[in-house]
Amino acid sequence: MFSKERGVSFLFCLCIFSEVTFLNIKSCFLYVLCSSIDLCCMWMHLQVPVKILRGHTDSVTAARLCFSDRRILSCSSDCTAILWVQTNSSGFIGVLTLASCLSVRMLTVSWDKKMVSWDMETGQILWKYQPGGLLTSCSSSSDGRLLVCAADPQNGMYVVDAAGGQIQHHVSDHHRSTITQCRFDPQSQRIATVSEDRSVKLLDLCSHKTTVSIDNAHGNVIANCCFTSDGCFLCTASWDKTLKLWDLHSGGFRCHGGTLLQKGHEGSVSSCSFSADGKLLVSGSYDKTVALWDMPSLCQTVTLKGHSDWVTDVSVSADGKLLASASKDRTIRLWNIENTEDIPQVMKKKTQATGSQIVQVRVHSHTQEKNILCPFTLTFSFHD
């Protein structure tokens, strides 16, 4: 555990650069409520493992699969970050060895106005920087050389050298209101930002100019965004309860706008994440659910239920088999979604591509508290 610094108010966001998070618990069984036009609602005994991680004492604001999807890194409003590692078969905490993971670093930003870079091998702080203003999000370039963080109330962002924390570029008043998320594209050539002003912008890192600006992209605050691995598509998640896909490769959005994904959530959409092949999109919502979307058919296939409060972040593994979700209920859940495509109703939905019938995965009432992962708690104090 990376513990809180004196005066810290809120550890809000983290990013991992140069390679970087996992766990293991006994599986809790879920049941899938299936529906179709031809059959009455019925319960099918599909076993979907879910692993519940408890270690934070306040809302979990971010959870990311890392270390080739073998570990999870989370941060919280309790001002701590936890690296979750696999436990042994007896349920005890396993030994964490990072000797082979050289130059693995993590960046945390917080409402205490500080950026902190960590060495994940030693747990030591590499550098700290306080650019001014509340820091609301961060991201790293794919090569691990650059970092970006968004700052409020400047409505701007700072591009920082990852090695030493030196400012490379600063943009003020990039949006008319708070930037809620900033993301490097996979080629590390552009930075996408979304904002409470409901707009989407892309900043070119070579020219330092805004090359794409989409006003009124959603009907409410845009909370998050993510790129496909080829950088051709950007997904945005909004408090208007929808997601949109923006075709950056063809530029078709300039004439037709974004492709709307709706009726997947009953509350504000807080987060989104693509699998590496771009065929799966995962979204989290304040309606306490996580939704799975099939991109070839643009169809929502599964709704995962289990969190008792807002879902604040989602992260999907590269192969699309594992999904981590963070929640205001102070937990992280690791879902094994590998076999969800084998559900007959899901296959039918993808063929029909109507998106009107949703398969809902619910936690069975006999889920036990003992099926909880323990974090490997390395405690390091911040320095003034």
Residue 364 has pLDDT above 50, yes or no: no
On whether residue 381 sits in a domain, the answer given is no
On whether residue 4 sits in a domain, the answer given is no
**237 or 118: which leads in pLDDT:** 237
On whether residue 61 sits in a domain, the answer given is yes
Q: Which helix (H) or strand (E) holds 84?
A: strand 81-84
Q: Which helix (H) or strand (E) holds 351?
A: helix 344-352
The CATH number of residue 101's host domain is 2.130.10.10
What is the reported pLDDT for 215? 96
User: Mean pLDDT lowest for which of 33-37, 197-201, 219-223, 374-378?
Assistant: 33-37
On whether residue 15 sits in a domain, the answer given is yes
Mean pLDDT of 273-301: 94
Tell me how far apart the alpha carbons of residues 21 and 147 are, in angstroms, rounded to a whole number.
19
Strand 233-238 relative to strand 179-184, pairing: unpaired
On whether residue 6 sits in a domain, the answer given is no
283-286, long-range: CB < 8 A, 24+ apart: 283/237, 283/243, 283/314, 284/311, 284/312, 284/313, 284/314, 284/325, 284/326, 285/241, 285/310, 285/311, 286/310, 286/311
Band of pLDDT at residue 332, cut at 50, 70 and 90: very high
- Residue 215 exposed, middle or buried by CB count within 10 Å (0-12, 13-18, 19+): exposed
Total structural domains within the chain: 1
Tell me how far apart the alpha carbons of residues 169 and 159 are, in angstroms, rounded to a whole number.
5
Residue 86 has pLDDT above 60, yes or no: yes
Residue 91 has pLDDT above 50, yes or no: no
Strand 359-363 relative to strand 299-305, pairing: parallel
pLDDT tens string 96-137: 322 223 347 888 888 888 999 988 877 789 999 998 889 999
Tokens of 301: 């296939």
CA distances from 368 to 25, 27, 337, 364, 365 (A): 11, 10, 20, 10, 9
Band of pLDDT at residue 384, cut at 50, 70 and 90: very low
Tell me how far apart the alpha carbons of residues 303 and 99 are, in angstroms, rounded to a whole number.
39
Q: What is the mean pLDDT of the chain?
A: 78
CA neighbor of 334 nearest in space, from 57, 25, 68? 25
On whether residue 283 sits in a domain, the answer given is yes
Owning domain of residue 108 = 11-373
What is the reported pLDDT for 67? 83
What is the reported pLDDT for 375? 42
On whether residue 88 sits in a domain, the answer given is yes
On whether residue 35 sits in a domain, the answer given is yes
User: Mean pLDDT lowest for which of 38-52, 196-210, 322-336?
Assistant: 38-52
**Bridge partner list, 227:** 234
Residue 31 has pLDDT above 80, yes or no: no
pLDDT tens string 161-194: 999 999 999 999 999 999 999 999 999 999 999 9
pTM here is: 0.79
Torsion, Cα 345 351 355 361, to 10 degrees, reads: 30
